[in-house]
Structure 1
Amino acid sequence: MDDICLNQTGDMAAMLLCFPHLQDSCPRFVRLTIVRVVMYAFMVITILMTVCGNLLVIISITHFKQLHSPTNFILRSLAVVDCCLGCFVMPFSMVRSVEGCWYMGENFCKVHSSLDMMLCTTSILHLCLVSIDRYYAICDPLQYSTKVTVFKVISGTIIIWLFSFLFCFGVVFSGVNMVGLETFILMTYCEGSCALFFNKEWGIIAPTVSFYIPAAVMTCLYIKIFHVARKHAKVMSDRLATVTCSELKNQASEQRERKAAKTLAIVMGVFLLCWLPFFITTLIDPFVNFQTPFHIFDAVMWFAYFNSTCNPVIYAFFYPHFRKAFKIIIAKISGMRTNTHILVVE
């Protein structure tokens, strides 16, 4: 009877391993089928929204010459970053999140981790570059055309891409982030895992470079932009004093202030909501002996990914000229599908 129980237990354990034929395999997550289906559906929808939304931005800015401006070139580069994240990082992270297993091998795990870290850093730095562009456009409009040129914007985006690549791939492939953690990694390693650990030093350095410094710059600039926008609204209201009644002036001024406050609140609110939990967890985890549960770390990671889904909405859909471009592109695609359908029927 005991032998039968042992055999049943062994068979059950084998079914729940990432690689049942390996003794050092990681265990798989035990989830109800409906839970797995819902998770896959949600993540696939998020990935499709990320890729399609950012593709619309890329096509619009590339195709329509009216959208060729320094600001929009930053947005196009940002859309390329977020589209790459949706194509090359999020699908593999989805399988790992749902199944709890990494099936692509150790070498690709390093590439995936490096690419994930690089694209997230690049996306954040692009958002910081957008805030710098908006600062000059609103706070120093007379000098904007000389201070912000297409050449400077393209140079800035290239520097961001190169810096992010060298920094992130350098950290992961050099292994400096795991110095002092060799014993811990050997004790916890199993076949089918793909986790990026940071020691205490790099647990501070990496988040600071990738997030905290750009976030501080963005916060300061957007606060300054908000105050300047309010002053501009007040000045415009005063200039209209001779031609409009005071009530209309106040209403127009208040509307402009509310619009500026709303836009900046959405920009910073979504950015901080998506990224802050992830980088707080990354910063704290090395100091609590990596006790953060996988499910929590996974959840905050997908919150961070979701920022790439929101970027096209925040930085493009709010502008009427982008909405018109999107409508034209979608109409053309729909027309092509309709014509193809008619040809097939005929």
Structure 2
Amino acid sequence: MSSNLSHPAVVQLCYENVNGSCIKSPYSPGSQVLLYAAFGSASVLPVFGNLLVMTSVLHFKQLHSPTNFLIASLACADFLVEVTVMPFSMVRSVDSCWYFGAQFCTLHSCCDVAFCYSSVFHLCFISIDRYIAVTDPLVYPTKFTVSVSGICVGISWILPIVYSGAVFYTGVNDDGMEELVSALNCIDGCQIAVNQDWVLVDFLLFFIPTLVMIILYSKIFLIAKQQAIKIETTSSKAESSSESYKARVAKRERKAAKTLGVTVVTFMISWLPYTIDTLIDAFMSFITPAYIYEICCWGAYYNSAMNPLIYALFYPWFRKAIKLILSGKLLKNSSSTIRLFSE
């Protein structure tokens, strides 16, 4: 007689026959292939996009400007997220296992936090740069110089790295959460717990620069609208050469500000769900299902892939630079002096 009782699903472990091993995800082999393909494309393709951005800005002399140096540094932060964070997070998300050791788990968490906050700071400084350029385009070159841009780049890298290293390597991130850490602790796992105090600090580190960006870009668009109206009302009148030049400069700076505004909006859309989710979890006993957390987390990671696409859509000089790089003309001695756009 056949039994109608259903057999319980076999629990797979990351390492069979090892006591305390983490439980492996229940995905079928087909589902795992699809997930690896989706996450892998998000990890590999943007690497080339951000490499193209960095190569374009650093190689072509016409692109050597304070704003573009910030953009190249932002591309470097995105590149490092894709190289040092996303591939290993992909394995953890799909298999629910960590095969890379406890020490690298801590390093991976540090890189994750450091490079992501580096992106936030870069975008904040870029918004300040664009605000100065739009509000006073003729004086802007003397205010936001290459040296000032270098200081902004240094701050955008040093502060996040020091912060993430201090938090994760001292262990203050999970103070008061010993029971949860013990429950999460298993062999070949990499679940980093962060207590309420440090979740609040993380939220403020995201929220304050984002608020600055929102305020500055709101002002930028208001000023851009006023300038556009002024140009339209004076277009029928005879303009002096200085007024005409100022109008052209203002138009160029407004266009650049709008493009970088799209970058900021994309960043907020990508990162806001993850930031809110971590805040809710910390104060409501981690109620978010694992798959929701993974969706929010990878939504944030995907932001690293978006910036090169935005540049390709809005910057003609970037499209031209890509053609020159892919055609091999970059190897010519005089390639660095090629003009990508008219002054």
Whether 1:214 and 2:209 are equivalent positions in the alignment is yes
Structure 2 gap segments, 5+ residues each: 239-250, 332-343
Q: Which residue of 2 aligns with 1:251?
A: none
Matched to 1:51, the amino acid is V
Contact 1:117 1:168 in 2 (8 A): yes
Matched to 1:192, the amino acid is D
Q: Partners in 2 of 1:188 and 1:73 — Cα distance?
A: 42
Identical-residue share of aligned pairs (%): 42
Matched to 2:68, the amino acid is N
1:165 to 161, 164, 177: 161
Whether 1:180 and 2:176 are equivalent positions in the alignment is yes
Q: Closer, same or farther in 2 for the Cα pair 1:109/1:260, shift >3 Å?
A: closer
1:73 to 50, 69, 72: 69
Q: Partners in 2 of 1:121 and 1:268 — Cα distance?
A: 14
Q: Deviation per CA, 1:163-202, whole angstroms, max 9, x where unpaired?
A: 1110011111111111100122112321122122211111
RMSD (Å) for aligned C-alpha atoms: 2.6
Runs of 4+ in 1 over 6 A off after TM superposition: 258-262
After superposing the two structures, state which structure 1 stretch, 111-120 or 286-295, moved more.
286-295
Contact 1:60 1:325 in 2 (8 A): yes
Aligned to 1:23, the other structure's residue is in SS state: coil
Q: Which residue of 2 aligns with 1:92?
A: 88
2:218 to 218, 223, 234: 223
1:237 to 232, 235, 238: 232
Whether 1:271 and 2:267 are equivalent positions in the alignment is yes
Q: Closer, same or farther in 2 for the Cα pair 1:90/1:33, shift >3 Å?
A: same
Q: Closer, same or farther in 2 for the Cα pair 1:168/1:261, shift >3 Å?
A: closer
Q: Which residue of 1 aligns with 2:248?
A: none
Q: Partners in 2 of 1:188 and 1:312 — Cα distance?
A: 37
Q: Which residue of 1 aligns with 2:285?
A: 289
Q: Partners in 2 of 1:89 and 1:184 — Cα distance?
A: 24
Matched to 1:160, the amino acid is S
Contact 1:96 1:102 in 2 (8 A): yes
2:197 to 181, 198, 201: 201
Q: Which residue of 1 aligns with 2:139?
A: 143
Whether 1:19 and 2:8 are equivalent positions in the alignment is no
Q: Partners in 1 of 2:99 and 2:196 — Cα distance?
A: 29
Q: How far apart are 1:294 and its partner, in Å?
A: 1.8
Structure 1 gap segments, 5+ residues each: 244-254, 336-346
Contact 1:81 1:119 in 2 (8 A): yes
Contact 2:123 2:264 in 1 (8 A): no
Q: Partners in 2 of 1:222 and 1:89 — Cα distance?
A: 30
Q: Partners in 1 of 2:311 and 2:135 — Cα distance?
A: 19
Whether 1:107 and 2:107 are equivalent positions in the alignment is no
Contact 2:36 2:90 in 1 (8 A): yes
Q: How far apart are 1:32 and its partner, in Å?
A: 2.1
Q: Partners in 1 of 2:322 and 2:132 — Cα distance?
A: 27
Aligned to 1:242, the other structure's residue is in SS state: coil
Contact 1:47 1:91 in 2 (8 A): yes
Matched to 2:127, the amino acid is S
Matched to 1:229, the amino acid is A
After superposing the two structures, state which structure 1 stretch, 22-31 or 262-271, moved more.
262-271
Q: Partners in 2 of 1:208 and 1:240 — Cα distance?
A: 46
Alignment TM-score, normalising by the size of structure 2: 0.85
Matched to 2:220, the amino acid is I
Q: Partners in 2 of 1:262 and 1:79 — Cα distance?
A: 18
Q: Partners in 1 of 2:27 and 2:35 — Cα distance?
A: 10
Q: Which residue of 1 aligns with 2:51?
A: 55
Q: Partners in 2 of 1:261 and 1:18 — Cα distance?
A: 49
After superposing the two structures, state which structure 1 stretch, 288-297 or 54-63, moved more.
288-297
Q: Which residue of 2 aligns with 1:123?
A: 119
Q: How far apart are 1:260 and its partner, in Å?
A: 8.6
2:28 to 24, 28, 32: 32
Contact 2:118 2:156 in 1 (8 A): yes
Q: Closer, same or farther in 2 for the Cα pair 1:77/1:168, shift >3 Å?
A: same
Q: Closer, same or farther in 2 for the Cα pair 1:206/1:110, shift >3 Å?
A: same
Alignment TM-score, normalising by the size of structure 1: 0.85
Give the structure with the higher percent helix.
1
Q: How far apart are 1:301 and its partner, in Å?
A: 0.9
Contact 1:75 1:315 in 2 (8 A): no
Q: Partners in 2 of 1:265 and 1:151 — Cα distance?
A: 24
For these two proteins, the number of residue pairs brought into alignment is 315
